[in-house]
């Protein structure tokens, strides 16, 4: 695996790889890699012969009181895991300047109305920061394919919309959620939780499953949402939101909406916010 830490090294490496046949797939990450990230690489490999992963903890997507400073960083381990996964190129910028150069104006993207709903309501500006960095990575790397995880459902919808207008040549892949044995969706922030808290966190997935089953049994949506909120509170998972939306994240208020849809939930446990969803 070739490790690049500056734009110059990145460009040189990409130039050399452009002479090799096959497609280039990008997996953008913030590091602290787990099996969820590695599954993105596995999926990418089915569609592309050259894989580039980026590790960059993007300051623009963290609010003032959020965990930018304490966000788990585990460079050595990440590099080992990527080597084992036969990733071809890693771009791990030596500093933020290699992504957002002081010689160019940062093109700040606006995530619009959807960007201020659901997670965006709790984290104002978060999705503007995500879109801004992903757009920059797309500009720097110009991959054929980019892969994002379904756990961050709202993120992947917003990135899809952005890419459709700014980078229509890039195909986006959505990788299924990877869960631990007890059902908790893998996330770098799970590191903040104790074993006991992770067991409690499993109730978010249970709640999503129950809600899907109830909806399929044609129970009233209002009742399902009320039950879900009470269930989560009873398990000491403080709900930030729990909603049903269509697969494009438009509001669904009908009890028997037939199209693709998704229950999405966000809960806080011991100051750590966890998100999860089930699309059906």
CB-CB contact of 87 with 41 (8 Å)? yes
Catalytic residue among 37, 86, 126, 167: 37
Binding range to ligand PAF, per CB under 6 A, among 43-51, 130-138, 204-212, 262-270: 130-138
Q: Tell me: does residue 277 bind ligand PAF (CB under 6 A).
A: no
What is the total count of residues that contact ligand PAF (CB under 6 A)?
10
How far apart are the C-alpha atoms of 200 and 237, rounded to whole Å?
A: 8
Instruction: Please give the C-alpha separations between residue 109 and each of 144, 149, 165, 264, in angstroms, as whole numbers.
Output: 21, 21, 12, 24
Report if residue 143 touches ligand PAF, rule: CB under 6 A. no
Nearest Cα neighbor of 257 from 245, 265, 249 is: 245
187 binds ligand PAF, rule: CB under 6 A: no
Half-sphere exposure of 15 (CA within 13 A, CB side): 6
Residue 150 binds to ligand PAF (criterion: CB under 6 A): no
Residue of 229, 224, 215 whose CA lies nearest to 259: 215
| 119 touches ligand PAF by CB under 6 A | no
Check binding of 128 to ligand PAF (CB under 6 A). Answer: no
Contacts of residue 102, defined as CB under 8 A and 6 or more positions apart, other chains included, come to: none
Segment contacting ligand PAF by CB under 6 A, of 93-101, 126-134, 161-169, 197-205: 126-134
Q: Which residue, 53 or 203, has its beta carbon nearer to ligand PAF?
A: 53
The verdict on 177 binding ligand PAF (CB under 6 A) reads no
Q: Is 103 a catalytic residue?
A: no
- Enumerate residues 44-63 that contact ligand PAF by CB under 6 A: 58, 61
Among positions 33, 43, 99, 134, the unique one binding ligand PAF when judged by CB under 6 A: 134
CB 236 within 8 A of CB 271: no
DSSP H helical ranges for 217-273: 221-234
Give the CA distances from residue 122 to residues 21, 119, 131, 241, in Å, rounded to whole numbers and listed in that order. Answer: 44, 5, 17, 9
Locate 229 and state its tokens. Answer: 């909120």
Site string for ligand PAF, 56-95 (x = CB under 6 A): --x--x----------------------------------
Interaction between residue 36 and ligand PAF (CB under 6 A): no
Residue 30 binding ligand PAF, by CB under 6 A: yes
Query: Which of 272, 260, 105, 118 has the alpha carbon at shortest distance from 201?
Result: 272
Active site residues: 37
Tell me which residues touch ligand PAF (CB under 6 A): 28-30, 58, 61, 130, 133-134, 152, 155
């Amino acid at each position: 695996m070739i490790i690049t830490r500056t734009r110059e090294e990145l460009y040189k490496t990409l130039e050399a790889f452009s002479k090799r046949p096959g497609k280039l797939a990008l997996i953008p990450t913030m590091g602290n890699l787990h099996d969820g990230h590695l599954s993105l690489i596995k999926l990418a490999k089915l569609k592309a012969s050259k894989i580039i992963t980026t590790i960059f903890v993007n300051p623009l997507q963290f609010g003032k009181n959020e965990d930018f400073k304490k966000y788990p960083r585990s460079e050595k381990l990440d590099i080992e895991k990527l080597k084992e996964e036969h990733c071809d190129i890693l771009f791990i910028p030596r500093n933020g300047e290699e992504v957002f150069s002081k010689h160019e104006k940062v093109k700040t993207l606006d995530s619009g109305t959807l960007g201020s709903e659901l997670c965006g309501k709790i984290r104002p500006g978060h999705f503007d920061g995500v879109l801004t960095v992903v757009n920059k990575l797309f500009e720097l790397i110009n991959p054929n394919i980019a892969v994002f995880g379904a756990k961050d459902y709202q993120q992947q919808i917003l990135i899809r919309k952005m890419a459709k207008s700014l980078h229509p040549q890039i195909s986006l892949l959505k990788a299924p959620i990877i869960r631990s044995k007890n059902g908790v969706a893998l996330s770098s922030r799970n590191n903040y939780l104790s074993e006991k808290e992770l067991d409690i966190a499993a109730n978010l997935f249970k709640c999503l499953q129950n809600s899907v089953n109830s909806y399929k049994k044609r129970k009233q949506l209002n009742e399902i949402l009320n039950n879900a909120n009470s269930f989560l509170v009873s398990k000491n998972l403080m709900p930030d939101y729990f909603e049903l939306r269509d697969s494009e994240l438009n509001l669904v208020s009908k009890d028997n909406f037939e199209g693709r849809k998704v229950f999405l939930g966000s809960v806080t446990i011991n100051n750590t916010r966890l998100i999860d969803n089930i699309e059906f």
